[in-house]
Structure formats: C-alpha cells, structure tokens
C-alpha cells in the first residue's frame, strides 16, 4: 500500500508532476498507484468540513512533497476529484467513481441533462442500472457498460441508491408510484437522490414521505446545462446528504456545495437561477438592441468578452444569439418552468421578484409561439415579436 498523508486543499491550482513521484512514469502507472492506495483524489478524510471549504484530503505520500512545493506542471489537481476526467489522460488513468457500499447505483431519467450525467458515472466505473421512458435514450448507457432496466421497479430492485433526474414533480410521483402501496415497497431501505428541479415545498413533502416509508432522501439539484453536464462541470447543491452519496455524485460535477437541510438545496438552486435567467434575458436584449441599431454583432461579442461581465455563459449564449443557433442546451420550456418556480417561491415568502416577473412573461411568450424546445437564448424571439407589434 502507498503510505497516505493528509494535506489541505487551497484555492490555488496545484498540479503534481508524475515524473517526480518514484515509480510513476505514466498516467497508467499513476492510476495503479491511486487504486492501490484506495485513497487519493476520490477519498476524503471526513472531518466535518464541506467540499467548498478548506477540506483535508488523503493523498499518496509520493504526491505530498510535489504538491507542497508546487513545482509540477501536468495532470491532476485537487479539484479533479469532482470531475470524471483528468482531461488529457486515457479513461483508465482517470479518478474513478464508486458505488455506495460497493453496490449498484440506479439512475432514472436520461433526458438532455440526465443522459450525459449518467454517462459520466458509467465511464467513471460506477456500477449503474438505468431506466428512461423513451428506451432509445438508454442505448448509449448500455454501450458504456450500464445495465438497462425494463421499468423503474427494476432499478429499485437492483439499487440501494437511486438518482432521479426527472422533468417535474408529476413525473417523479408517477415513477415512485407515490400515493399508492407500491411507493413504500420501492423506497424502503433506499436512498433517493433528487437531482432535478421542483418546488422546494414539494421536495420537503417528498422527503417526509420517503422517510416515513423507511428510506433516505437527498436533494442534489445542479447548476449548469447540457454542455457542463457533458464535460462534468456541473455544480451540485446538496441538502440532507452524506459522504457516501457525495462520492457517488463526484464524477458528474466540478464542485459540490452543501446547503444544509432539505429544501435548502432547491432554494439555493432557485436563487442561482434568478441570476442566470435574468442574465441571459439581459444578454438577449443587448443583442436585440445592437441588431436594431445595425451594429456588428461580432464586435458586440468582442466588447462583451473583453469586459468584466464576461463568463462562460455569456460567451456561449452570445455566440448563439450572434449566429441564431438555438440548438438546445437549456430549453425555453424548462427555463419558463424554472422561472415560475422562482416567482412562486418568492410569493410564498413575501418577496418581490420584478426581474423574474418580466423574464417569466418573455419565456412564456416564446414557448407559446412554438419555440419551447429551443435553447433559452431564443427568448430574443419574444423581444423581436414585441418590437414588431410596437411598430405596426
């Protein structure tokens, strides 16, 4: 066994040099060392600190000196424990995921987000069984080594931890057979991980029902769209979690943020979405304004990308607006649904939401016009429609 030492994560990027580690001369050799130690980047020494704080991690002794002096240049950083990939290494040399208690993990819901998330789990070595209402969406998972169940009950029969990435509360209730005698049979003795987006109050009620039936419940909604889901750059917000569940989720994400008790994670997700939805709507209006004045949109993109407001989202959505490419990453109808959740939660708390009220109306108009399956950047169509009506 490789001796283990504990160092602390820092905010700076640390890249160990494999050549400086005795007996490690290649990614494959590094992977063997990681597996033999049964620690390193996937294993943490749990001491009550959150993954976004200065948390101690267990690393092979051979890495400690390299990390400490920061002289290395290639390969792995502490943050890679939240990603399935050391990007330029072959699959067998990447940090591996693991199943809870070394048993199969279930995944239900292989849509725009769920399919790439589940693929990252499978590619990271998780023993996985999946189900989707449209069976063709499960074929890439089968090719990646996952088992495919004939129905949700097959997933629950094989897995003690089941991840749900489903469209809304009605679909969740249908899959779980909530309100019937089958519900308790499915969830008893199992951990249900809800990774979709629903009303926080719904999630709290589901958590109580699962606990009452003898199961455990974890909220783990994500921030990010299809692109980050494919590259495992999602941010997971988790409530009611435990270290083993977090280990299962790491191959799908760049970061895990602990949000206390249920429904804290979904409330946090809605707070994040308030910024995201208003930002993308504002970006769409910026491009609409520029186009109306005959400005060069490439020049607008250059100005935005060079400025302090630039981000991965602004660059991606800016390109879509510039090129009129509305291939879906986050669909209009889904963003409309999310904006309704934000506004409803604000009303319940007695909070005003003037920006989201406007955004909700614009996304509703875009959806009603038949563009619900397009990317959220297509909200610019509602602005264009309003402009056309105003000049008639």
Mean pLDDT (whole number) for 382-388? 98
Mean pLDDT (whole number) for 273-289? 98
Task: Look at residue 151 and tell me whether its pLDDT is greater than 80.
Answer: yes
Give 332-355 pLDDT, tens digit per residue: 999 999 999 999 999 999 999 999
pTM, 2 dp: 0.76
Could you give the CA distance from residue 381 to residue 365 in angstroms, rounded to a whole number? 9
Q: Which pLDDT belongs to residue 102?
A: 54
Do 237 and 259 meet the contact criterion of CB atoms below 8 Å apart?
yes
Strands (E), the chain: 4-8, 56-60, 105-108, 128-131, 147-148, 161-164, 191-194, 216-219, 222-223, 234-238, 253-258
What secondary structure letter does DSSP report for 239? B
Hey, is 357 helix, strand or coil?
helix
Give 364-384 pLDDT, tens digit per residue: 999 999 999 999 999 999 999
Mean pLDDT (whole number) for 237-265? 95
């Amino acid at each position: 066994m490789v001796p283990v030492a504990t160092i602390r994560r820092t905010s700076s990027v640390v890249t160990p040099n494999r050549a400086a580690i005795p007996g490690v001369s290649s990614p494959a050799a590094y992977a063997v060392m990681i597996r033999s130690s049964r620690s390193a980047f996937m294993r943490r020494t749990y001491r009550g600190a959150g993954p976004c704080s200065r948390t101690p991690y267990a690393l092979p002794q051979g890495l400690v000196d390299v990390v400490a002096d920061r002289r290395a240049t290639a390969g792995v950083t502490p943050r890679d424990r939240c990603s399935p990939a050391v990007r330029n290494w072959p699959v067998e040399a990447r940090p591996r995921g693991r199943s809870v208690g070394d048993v199969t993990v279930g995944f239900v819901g292989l849509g725009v987000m769920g399919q790439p998330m589940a693929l990252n789990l499978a590619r990271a070595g998780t023993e996985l069984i999946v189900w989707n209402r449209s069976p063709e969406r499960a074929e890439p998972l089968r090719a990646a080594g996952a088992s495919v169940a004939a129905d949700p009950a097959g997933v629950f029969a094989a897995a003690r931890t089941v991840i749900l990435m489903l469209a809304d509360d009605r679909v969740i209730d249908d899959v779980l057979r909530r309100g019937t005698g089958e519900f308790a049979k499915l969830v008893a003795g199992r951990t249900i991980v809800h990774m979709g987006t629903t009303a926080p109050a719904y999630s709290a009620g589901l958590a109580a029902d699962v606990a009452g039936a003898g199961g455990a419940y974890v909220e783990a909604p994500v921030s990010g769209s299809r692109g980050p889901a494919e590259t495992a750059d999602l941010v997971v917000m988790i409530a009611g979690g435990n270290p083993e569940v977090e280990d299962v989720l790491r191959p799908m994400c760049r970061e895990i943020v602990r949000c206390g008790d249920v429904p804290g994670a979904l409330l946090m997700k809605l707070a994040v979405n308030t910024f995201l939805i208003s930002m993308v709507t504002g970006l769409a209006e910026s491009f609409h304004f520029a186009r109306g004045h005959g400005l060069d949109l490439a020049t607008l993109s250059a100005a935005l990308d060079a400025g302090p407001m630039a981000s991965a989202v602004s660059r991606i959505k800016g390109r879509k607006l510039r090129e009129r490419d509305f291939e879906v990453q986050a669909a209009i109808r889904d963003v409309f649904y999310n904006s309704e959740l934000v506004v409803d939660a604000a009303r319940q708390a007695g909070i005003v939401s003037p920006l989201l009220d406007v955004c909700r109306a614009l996304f509703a108009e875009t959806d009603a016009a038949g563009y619900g399956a397009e990317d959220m950047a297509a909200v610019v169509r509602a602005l264009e429609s309003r402009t056309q009506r105003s000049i008639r």
